[in-house]
Amino acid sequence: MALPLKYNFRNVLVRWRATLATILGIALVVAVYVLVQALAVGLEKSAGNTGDPRNVMIVRKGATAESSSQVSLAQFQTIRYWPQVAHDENGAPLISADVITLISQPRIDGRGEANVSVRGLTPLGRQLRPQVKLVAGRWFTPGQREVAVSEKMARRFTGFHVGDTFHTAGNDLTVVGEFDGGNSAFDSEVWMDADEARSLFDRENYSSLLVRVTGPTAAQELLARVESDKRLPLRAEAEVKYYGDQTATALPIRILGNFLATAMSVGAVFAAMNTMYASVGARTREIGTLRVLGFRRRSVLAGFILEGALLAAIGGVLGCLLSLPLDGYSTGTMSFNSFSETVFEFRITPWLATKGMIFSIVVGVIGSLLPALRASRLPVIAALKSV
Per-residue burial over 165-203, b if 16 or more Cβ lie within 10 Å, else e, is ebebeeeebebbbbbbbebbbbbbbbbbbbbbbbebbeb
pLDDT of residue 242: 85
Per-residue burial over 374-386, b if 16 or more Cβ lie within 10 Å, else e, is bbbebeeeebbee
CB 375 within 8 A of CB 289: no
pLDDT of residue 328: 73
pLDDT tops 50 at residue 58: yes
Average pLDDT for 103-114 = 85
Query: What pTM was computed for the model?
Result: 0.73
The C-alpha atoms of residue 40 and residue 185 are separated, in whole angstroms, by 14
The C-alpha atoms of residue 57 and residue 51 are separated, in whole angstroms, by 9
Max mean pLDDT range (90-104, 260-274, 303-317): 90-104
Bridge partner list, 175: 147
3-state DSSP assignment of residue 281: helix
